[in-house]
Structure 1
Amino acid sequence: MNADKPALGKRIKNPDGTFGEYVFENYGTVRRRRNNLGSGVFFILENNPYKTDSEAHKRMKYDPEKKTEGFILTIFSHNRPEWAICDLASVAYSITNTALYDTLGPNTGKYILNLTESPIIICSKEKIKILINLKRENPEELKNLIAIVSIDDLEEGDIELRNLGHENKITVYDMKEVETLGEIHPLPPIEPTPDTVFTITFTSGTTGANPKGVVLKNRNAVAAITFVLCTLASRFNPVNYSFLPLAHIYERLVLQHALVVGTKVGYPQGPSTLTLFDDIKVLKPDNLSLVPRVITKLEGAIKAQTIKNDANPMLKSLYTSAINAKMELQAKKENEHKNPPLLVYDRLLNMLRKKMGLEKVEIITTGSAPISPSTIRFLKASLNIGVAQGYGMSESFAGFMASSRFETESASCGPIGVTCEIKLKDLPEMGYTSKDKGGPRGELLVRGYQIFEGYYKNPEETAKSFDKDGWFHTGDVARINSENRVFIIDRVKNFFKLAQGEYVTPEKIEGMYLSKFPYIAQAYVHGDSTESFLVGIIGLDPVIATQYIKQRFNDTIENKDDIIQFFKSTRNRKILLEDMNQSIVNRLHGFEKLHNIFVDFEPLTVAREVVTPTMKIRRAVARKFFKNEIEKMYAEGSLIKDTKL
């Protein structure tokens, strides 16, 4: 249907190191490359000199009748067109794939490769030596790995890589070579069935243990795409920017849906996330799929140019009036599915959109972690666009419900979609029941076509996750209002008891501070049964922290290190904490408020392993990582003990 339409594109690198326009391959070309790659993969595995008689290698045989279980192909790269071609080849030839990503670390990468017995990895060139060395250091665990395919072209100077591979019983090819071999030795695609396993996506989890492999079949993928087709309005000749990591299920769904509807998909310049705005100014996408940590940075950047632009008071006043007027109109129920016009202000806001390269963006979707409703309201108003919040997990092949673009409350994940059903389970120990005022509350349970059937080689975790009626227990606490919209409000078991006996749920508290005090971008709340108050690890927003210091302390500090040093002062931290607590006054009980804080820029990072790649806090790991800071805060005591809470 879309053979001649542009499909997958990347920017061409200029001789001076800059990047030019996007260049696309059409759908017909992508289809041909898909078949060549699929055929070539079977050829280099079946004819591999390091093939053994192991059970894993017996599964490498091309089997159009699918009488035997197949092998698992691993992808390890940043987002690029070839990632999508690997995904398409996997579907077309009924090959199960999985993905590695940098933040997993070598130990987890070794664990996944050993568990899946993957014989082949398709990766970017800079990963090859790392992977070969991983096998050299773990020859028994990775004995089944016998082929690595470089997405980037290998040149004469790369003979050392090939030799290093042979020394460790791995053949090294580049993708162009494999596609050529597939063109010479073509094989017909092996059409998948609904029960064919499409992918195994490994969730990093919040406990710090080995990741669990979520087994997702083609039926799950088709159901997920069906949900998106039924939920988001289709556009003519859509344009996507593939920004979120394709190793995660959210972007995989975005990709598969995009290919179904004939989308032109553009990719980043490279692995860095810092090229987002540079790329979209050239690509001009009509929608963006983002996550809260990216959206809050976008919010901070917009505020610095508009309502907090102290360097230009006139512009600040104009934007403040325009954004406030827009937010007021969007809060009216009759405008829930469209953007209410304000002609004079629209012109001003559209100029801001164009400046940021967002002039064609109609909708931003967000998921994977909670986001402040105030952030959604601000983005909708300031950028004059729709923002939809979805809910899903790896276990559901990403989203299965989503809000409307201009929902008045800006806090829900919308109603349940067409592919699943949900119900709530009472949690009396946490104070959540079906009889609660404001709508039933409890643990969110889900079942349906999008929901996986089990974890890879992990029957124990599978059994723990489902009840006898087939309901998957998400671990999230939800509220359902009178219009059947779902609000995620807490996590099951994410609560602890303070010394005086009160139960505290940290995620609720973190979300409240983040939504009401715009100068912070991260918050980790900690409590202990031997202590009577809460402490917190706070991440300042680097874009607007200087503005806060100027307004609150009448001081000018630009250097980040100096800002952190500034808040090492007990007096300054106390003032910051008092302002934070004032922002959530009457919204939390006294015992739920922070009494002491440690301040830094982005203390919660994936590299420290205190959060997952989707920015969920790994509380047990975070507690150990920040042990010294926590002990110092409790030793120092409450900064606000004399303040009325």
Structure 2
Amino acid sequence: MPRQALADRTVDQEVLDGRAPSVGALFRNRVRATPDAPAYLYFEDGAAELTTLTWEQTHEVVEQWAAGLISLGVQLEDRVAIASTTRVEWVLADLAVICAGGATTTVYPTTIAEDVAYILSDSGSGIVFAEDEEQVAKLQRVRSQVPDVRQVVALSGPGSDDGWVITTDELARRGREWLAETPDLVDSRIDQLGPEHLAVVIYTSGTTGRPKGVRLVQDSVVYEGAVIDALGTFTRDDLQFLWLPLSHVFGKMLVATGLQIGFPTAVDGRIDKIVDNMAVIKPTFMAGPPRIFEKAHGRIALMFAGETGLKKRLIDWALGVGGEMRDVLARGEQAPALLRGKHALADRLVLQKVKDRFGGRVRFMISGSAPLNAEVARWFGSVGLLVQEGYGLTETSSGTTVNSPDHGAYEYGSVGWPLPGTEVRIAEEDGEILVRGPGVMRGYHGNPEATAEVLTEDGWFHTGDIGRMDERGFLYVTDRKKDVFKTSGGKYVAPAEIEARFKGLCPFVSQFLVHGAGHNYATALVTLDPDAVAAWAPTAGLEGRSYAEVVSSPQARALVQGYVDKLNAGLNRWETIKKFTILPEDLTVEAGDLTPSMKLRRKAVTEKHRAELDAMYEGA
């Protein structure tokens, strides 16, 4: 059985127990409760100012689109795909699918045409929302392979002459016609949805073989929003900045949380605009993968390191005071008056300037999808930007555990406590993390064999992650079960833990891949952050050189070697990195090195750079 946390946790059980029967009902409840409150904010056609949709305005669009989908033949649990980047129209389309009684199939916009055809065919999707002409063209190329796709709806751009592609205006027009005949058309469809009806099929961005479609039911999605509401972490006064891929489970569940609680969400998926957008949006919270926090930490840490004299001493003092306050709050204690006074001064002189880079109003941030180095998290905590690290998988509807100081304590390096209603235990035989609860998937779409491999008859999901629980109930994730390797000397190495540790030490690193299965020592592939490298190059006499020239220089190698030495000083002998290679380019989503949620595709990168890895073992 899972160990129970010793600290008390305040949970509004009535909210959790009284959750809506479906996402459609949840949306309808929100519209009725706060029709005139802001729901979604977005930059229309690249404008500098935000446009706001109220909940009632959102409902007007969603109802018309939902009725339009019904006019196209969508029945209960019929799959409707969305192939788009994160934008407000993605949210509207998703809500329309749900309110029509259908289930959304998510398609990453960077997915190659062959895989798009597979996902659409495997899911049985009959209708596809396509973001723009690029996505429509991709669908046209595979049209013969997806004969069941009877209609494409373009979120932007024109329709087609043969009628296979229509615009959202045309979809809305058809919806209005059907609503004029049957005003309660959409409401009656929502009323037919129950907790166990299919809500979404999300295809895992796996590194081997075909992706598997994770089936999440209505209650799995609703539970995620309700349990966060029950914990009281968010309020209606919050403002979310959502840039994560909505094709990923993390982003989708954050939308569900907004429906439950009623806070507005600013939606903009342009990753290159995150920093600029935060200054305009001024959110109170934002979620992201560890790479976003590592990059921000590295950039600000390098800037601080470049200061000298009195200014440097002031920064160090302020961070020290911030660290003291961080540790007091993490223990759930009240800070003494003297510390509160010092912290107010440190905040005014230094710390608030860091927070202003994130819009100035952030109460906390959320990290998920991969391990976040504890030192990076502590650094953010010292400047007053708490990063609440959580844990979950697509198969567990994202949220499984969360680290939150609102509920007794906060443990840096852990991923917190299991959410109320969710059980977590550690398998005795191999340390695998097992999960059971409302968020666990009902299986892989059309793949009972794969389902049976990970889901027991009594509902325990085998995550494939290795972890441990401490005596207070905090969960620690060590690595992916399949990624842990054994050296030729018989010693086990957990690469993700070492990789996260290095990212906390080196502000210049972008990616760090540890390798060594079957060898007598570990090696690493390293990529450096282009922005950090550009700022560092002039200090090393490399001004004006290209990225590839800078990272291949002796100066860059000496720089990285210094951080590798620091890393090795804290590792067991068999874990130490004996050799490393700096790659001439960074790893990217576009090149297939990272998943769309910025997780490392370990096998793909290893195969791609097999020659570099083999070279580090020549003669060994």
Q: TM tier, shorter chain?
A: 0.7 to 0.9
Structure 1 contact 9–24 (Cα < 8 Å) conserved: yes
Structure 1 contact 546–557 (Cα < 8 Å) conserved: no
Aligned match of 1:415 in 417, 432, 435? 417
- C-alpha offsets along residues 301-360 of structure 1, whole Å, 9 cap, x if unaligned? 22233x2234x6543332222112211331236753788741111112454146424211
Distance 1:322 1:122 in 2: 50
Alignment partner, residue 616 of structure 1:
599
Alignment partner, residue 290 of structure 1:
288
Distance 1:108 1:446 in 2: 30
CA 1:478/1:518 → structure 2, altered by over 3 Å: closer, same or farther? Answer: same
Structure 2 contact 294–504 (Cα < 8 Å) conserved: no
Structure 2 contact 225–256 (Cα < 8 Å) conserved: yes
Distance 1:565 1:471 in 2: 51
Structure 1 contact 135–143 (Cα < 8 Å) conserved: no
Distance 1:389 1:194 in 2: 28
- C-alpha offsets along residues 528-586 of structure 1, whole Å, 9 cap, x if unaligned? 42x32222101223344467678xxx723345635x435535x6576445423431345
Distance 2:205 2:334 in 1: 37
Is structure 2 residue 597 aligned with structure 1 residue 565?
Answer: no
- C-alpha offsets along residues 462-493 of structure 1, whole Å, 9 cap, x if unaligned? 00002343211001111111111111112213
Aligned match of 2:100 in 93, 106, 109? 93
Alignment partner, residue 196 of structure 2:
195
Structure 1 contact 331–409 (Cα < 8 Å) conserved: no
How does 1:366-405 map onto structure 2 within 5 Å? 366-382=367-383, 384-405=384-405
Structure 1 contact 76–100 (Cα < 8 Å) conserved: yes
Alignment partner, residue 317 of structure 1:
313
- Count the aligned residue pairs: 573
Give the gaps of 5 or more residues in structure 2.
1-32, 180-184
Q: Report the AA paired with residue 327 of structure 1.
A: G
Structure 2 contact 522–577 (Cα < 8 Å) conserved: yes
Q: Report the AA paired with residue 173 of structure 1.
A: I
Structure 2 contact 289–598 (Cα < 8 Å) conserved: no
Alignment partner, residue 301 of structure 1:
299
CA 1:237/1:103 → structure 2, altered by over 3 Å: closer, same or farther? Answer: same
Structure 2 contact 390–401 (Cα < 8 Å) conserved: yes
How does 1:547-566 map onto structure 2 within 5 Å? 555-559=540-544, 561=546, 564-566=548-550
Q: Report the AA paired with residue 534 of structure 1.
A: A
Distance 2:59 2:457 in 1: 43
Alignment partner, residue 213 of structure 1:
213
Is structure 2 residue 347 aligned with structure 1 residue 361?
Answer: no
Is structure 2 residue 172 aligned with structure 1 residue 179?
Answer: yes
Structure 1 contact 330–408 (Cα < 8 Å) conserved: no
Distance 1:567 1:11 in 2: 37
Which structure's relative contact order is higher, taking Cα pairs within 8 Å and 6+ residues apart? 2
Aligned match of 2:522 in 517, 525, 534? 534
Aligned match of 1:326 in 322, 331, 335? 322
Distance 1:149 1:128 in 2: 11
Is structure 2 residue 445 aligned with structure 1 residue 445?
Answer: no
Aligned match of 1:82 in 66, 76, 89? 89
Alignment partner, residue 490 of structure 1:
479
Alignment partner, residue 47 of structure 2:
19
1:264 Cα deviation from its structure 2 partner: 1.8
Aligned match of 1:146 in 143, 146, 150? 150
Structure 2 contact 282–360 (Cα < 8 Å) conserved: yes
- C-alpha offsets along residues 217-254 of structure 1, whole Å, 9 cap, x if unaligned? 01111211122113352324321112111111101111
CA 1:274/1:338 → structure 2, altered by over 3 Å: closer, same or farther? Answer: farther
Q: Report the AA paired with residue 185 of structure 1.
A: W
Structure 1 contact 241–285 (Cα < 8 Å) conserved: yes
Q: Report the AA paired with residue 227 of structure 1.
A: V
1:146 Cα deviation from its structure 2 partner: 1.9
Distance 2:330 2:138 in 1: 56
1:261 Cα deviation from its structure 2 partner: 1.7
Alignment partner, residue 37 of structure 2:
5
CA 1:128/1:491 → structure 2, altered by over 3 Å: closer, same or farther? Answer: closer
Distance 1:286 1:400 in 2: 23
Q: Report the AA paired with residue 202 of structure 2.
A: T
1:275 Cα deviation from its structure 2 partner: 1.0
CA 1:479/1:586 → structure 2, altered by over 3 Å: closer, same or farther? Answer: farther
Structure 1 stretch displaced more, 372-381 or 221-230: 221-230
Structure 1 contact 162–171 (Cα < 8 Å) conserved: yes
Aligned-partner SS, 1:114: helix
Structure 1 contact 522–602 (Cα < 8 Å) conserved: no
Q: Report the AA paired with residue 106 of structure 2.
A: A
Distance 2:152 2:334 in 1: 49
Structure 1 contact 444–474 (Cα < 8 Å) conserved: yes
Aligned-partner SS, 2:594: coil
> What TM-score results when the alignment is normalised by the length of structure 2?
0.86
Distance 1:334 1:355 in 2: 23
Q: Report the AA paired with residue 234 of structure 1.
A: F
Q: Report the AA paired with residue 169 of structure 2.
A: K
- C-alpha offsets along residues 70-114 of structure 1, whole Å, 9 cap, x if unaligned? 421111112222211112222222111111113322221111011
Structure 1 contact 542–560 (Cα < 8 Å) conserved: no
- C-alpha offsets along residues 153-182 of structure 1, whole Å, 9 cap, x if unaligned? 53xxxxxx512xx2xxx5221112211211
Distance 2:109 2:443 in 1: 25
Alignment partner, residue 8 of structure 2:
none
Distance 1:350 1:568 in 2: 36
1:392 Cα deviation from its structure 2 partner: 0.8
Alignment partner, residue 433 of structure 1:
none
Distance 1:84 1:148 in 2: 17
Q: Report the AA paired with residue 155 of structure 2.
A: I
Distance 1:264 1:128 in 2: 28
CA 1:353/1:226 → structure 2, altered by over 3 Å: closer, same or farther? Answer: same
Structure 2 contact 568–576 (Cα < 8 Å) conserved: no
- C-alpha offsets along residues 427-476 of structure 1, whole Å, 9 cap, x if unaligned? 45xxxxxxxxxxxxx11101111111200011111000023432110011
Structure 1 contact 577–594 (Cα < 8 Å) conserved: no
Alignment partner, residue 425 of structure 1:
427
Distance 1:336 1:212 in 2: 41
Aligned match of 2:131 in 114, 117, 124? 124
Structure 2 contact 330–410 (Cα < 8 Å) conserved: no
Is structure 2 residue 114 aligned with structure 1 residue 114?
Answer: no
CA RMSD of aligned residues (A): 2.5
Structure 1 contact 122–148 (Cα < 8 Å) conserved: yes
CA 1:503/1:6 → structure 2, altered by over 3 Å: closer, same or farther? Answer: closer
Aligned-partner SS, 1:624: helix
Distance 1:119 1:523 in 2: 41
Aligned-partner SS, 1:21: coil
Q: Report the AA paired with residue 130 of structure 1.
A: A
Q: Report the AA paired with residue 194 of structure 2.
A: T
Is structure 2 residue 562 aligned with structure 1 residue 579?
Answer: yes
Q: Report the AA paired with residue 507 of structure 2.
A: P
Aligned-partner SS, 1:522: strand
User: What percentage of residue pairs aligned between the two structures are identical?
Assistant: 24
Is structure 2 residue 256 aligned with structure 1 residue 260?
Answer: no
Distance 1:115 1:337 in 2: 52
Distance 2:432 2:550 in 1: 42
Structure 1 contact 496–527 (Cα < 8 Å) conserved: yes
Distance 1:558 1:548 in 2: 9
Distance 2:363 2:78 in 1: 41
CA 1:587/1:7 → structure 2, altered by over 3 Å: closer, same or farther? Answer: same
Distance 1:333 1:24 in 2: 36
Aligned-partner SS, 1:98: strand
Aligned-partner SS, 1:387: strand
1:520 Cα deviation from its structure 2 partner: 1.9
Is structure 2 residue 245 aligned with structure 1 residue 250?
Answer: no
1:514 Cα deviation from its structure 2 partner: 2.2
